[in-house]
Amino acid sequence: MSALVSHNLQAILFLPLLSAAVLAAVKSYRASARLNILSSFLTFVAALSLLVARPPTGRYLLVDDLNIVFIVLNTFVAFTTSAFSASYIAHELSAHRLTRTHLRFYHAMYQLLLGAMNLALIANNIGLMWVAIEVATLTTVVMVGIYRTPAALEAAWKYFILGSVGIALALFGTILIYMAARPVVGEGLNGMVWTVLIAHVARFDPALLNLAFVFLLLGYGTKVGLAPLHAWLPDAHAEGPTPISAVLSGLLLNVALYAVLRFKLLMSANPGAIAPGPLMMTLGLLSLVFAAFMLYRRGDIKRLFAYSSIEHMGIIVFAFGMGGALANFAGLLHMAMHSLTKSAIFFAVGQVSQVKGTQQIAEIRGLTASHPFLGWALVVGVIAIVGMPPAGVFMSEFLIVTSTVAQAPALAALVVFGLVVAFGALMLRLHGLAFGEPTGSLQPVKATSLPMILHLAPVLVAGVYLPPPLVAWFQHVAASLH
């Protein structure tokens, strides 16, 4: 069994990399799209096997209670997005927005991105984790600019510059962690191994840890999309292919969040270090309120939901900053619900923008009449993401507010205020998009429905019923987060 699990762990890492190399050489779009789906599916199956048995911890790789949540969610959304991507990119090819050379490049980069994110999640070495997140960043930069339009290239450069600043700050924070560890664990690799660090962190210099966490929070917080470090995210969503928007909101933001949580655990285990919670709560609350107001000013439908991602990542970071068993449980649940819901929304938005030939909200009206499935899928997705019952987002937001009331009632009022402001903005936009007299193209479209159903169905069920094993799993992980 241990040998099989070890092989599955290798598959999670090396299957995407091998697939990327093969896809770079495959000329047939149909074949490359199918291989992309197959590789993503097999990676997801390999990730599921880790729920049954885990490989032993090594100096470079680690599977524990925390990262297994991220690994399973990451590989599932990557698989469903690859299925959506097949039809979406085929339409872009027929519309001559992309060439076959671009498509080989796109599919190869998709698998490289998946492999880099998986490596970041299971790395037991904080330096290796930084390298993996940097590779994921560079991969998404080139995918955002794949259309080669002036706007797409500008968005890619903005993402590259701001992402590089963030990752440089994270690198400096990582170096400071090593400097804090060196007097205790000695020179060499042990100063970068997370399991070694967490075992000895109580003896590290608190001043170095404090400085390191500030750089790490700002650095990886840039990748999370927290305000005021968010400026790359709306442009990247608006100008890149929609499947990449789904991956950014549903996956890559979570990977950066995972890195923050790892370092939060280090800080919490040192009695002399500052509490990381207040810093995380401040950035999270700022992101929530800022993004909620910015939703009212968005005229591009993909930018609209990009700011919604900033809002929800703010909620999640706030919950983990608040800490405690209930808040951590709510943060994990909200992260899962947001990933599923937001990627489903982007699946619908991508097809809507293709059939209507525009991303401008003012030019898209009456979707439930002109394209019923897409229109109602968007309605369900938006109702879920704003926290209307019975969606799982309602449950997670209710738990976040409840835990905040118990610990800091004044902050609970600000959280509710931000949620209400965001609710008003999205419902206002949804009314025009979904209802009224249809505008634009009325041509029927064969919607790619299965990925949306696979995402929205569990989100709707989660607001009514959470399986006891899932609750126990999340409670166990929440307890480990302190």
- Cross-strand bridge partners of residue 193: 125
Coil, helix or strand at residue 24: coil
- Cross-strand bridge partners of residue 125: 193
Residue 420 Cα to chain centre, angstroms: 23
Coil, helix or strand at residue 464: coil
385 neighbors 338 (Cβ within 8 angstroms)? yes
Question: 180: buried, middle or exposed (CB in 10 Å: 19+, 13-18, 0-12)?
Answer: buried
Enter the tokens of residue 134.
Answer: 């940097």
> How many angstroms separate the CA atoms of 134 and 15, rounded?
20
**Backbone angle region of 255, left / alpha / beta, with phi > 0 → left and psi within -120 to 50 → alpha:** alpha
Eight-state DSSP code of residue 300: B
- Helix H or strand E segment including 338: helix 325-356
Enter the tokens of residue 304.
Answer: 């609209």
Residue 360 main-chain phi, psi, to 5 deg: -75, 125
> How many angstroms separate the CA atoms of 190 and 164, rounded?
27
- Helix, strand and coil content of the chain, in percent to the nearest 5, comes to 80, 0, 20
37 neighbors 79 (Cβ within 8 angstroms)? yes
Closest Cα to residue 400, out of 324, 289, 339? 324
13 neighbors 45 (Cβ within 8 angstroms)? no
Report the number of secondary-structure helices (H) and strands (E) in the chain.
20, 0
| Amino acid identity for residue 221 in this structure | G
- Note the pLDDT of residue 216: 95
> How many angstroms separate the CA atoms of 110 and 136, rounded?
10
> How many angstroms separate the CA atoms of 172 and 216, rounded?
8
316 neighbors 331 (Cβ within 8 angstroms)? yes
Query: Within a 10 A sphere around the Cβ of 104, how many other Cβ atoms?
Result: 18
- Cross-strand bridge partners of residue 123: 61
Q: What angle do CA 31, 35, 38 make, to 5 degrees?
A: 140
- Note the pLDDT of residue 2: 55
201 neighbors 270 (Cβ within 8 angstroms)? yes
Query: Within a 10 A sphere around the Cβ of 188, how many other Cβ atoms?
Result: 9
pLDDT tens series, the chain, 482 aa: 555 556 678 888 899 999 999 988 888 888 888 999 999 999 999 999 888 888 888 888 889 888 899 999 999 999 999 999 988 888 887 777 777 777 778 889 999 999 999 999 999 999 999 999 999 999 998 888 888 888 888 989 988 998 889 999 999 999 999 999 999 988 888 889 999 999 999 999 999 999 999 999 999 999 998 888 888 888 888 888 888 888 888 888 999 999 999 999 999 999 998 999 999 999 999 999 999 999 998 888 899 999 999 999 999 999 999 988 999 999 999 999 999 999 999 999 988 888 888 888 888 888 888 888 888 999 999 999 999 988 999 999 999 999 999 888 989 999 999 999 999 999 998 888 888 777 776 676 776 788 899 999 999 999 888 889 899 999 999 988 87
**DSSP codes, 198-243:** HHHGGGS-HHHHHHHHHHHHHHHHHHHT-TTS-THHHHHHHHS-HH
> How many angstroms separate the CA atoms of 18 and 13, rounded?
9
- Note the pLDDT of residue 6: 62
Residue whose entry in the numeric block shows the structure tokens 């950066």 = 256
Closest Cα to residue 82, out of 19, 152, 9? 19
Enter the tokens of residue 247.
Answer: 């991956």
Q: Model-level pTM? A: 0.94
- Note the pLDDT of residue 4: 55
Enter the tokens of residue 249.
Answer: 């909101």
Closest Cα to residue 54, out of 14, 1, 119, 12? 1
> How many angstroms separate the CA atoms of 242 and 240, rounded?
6
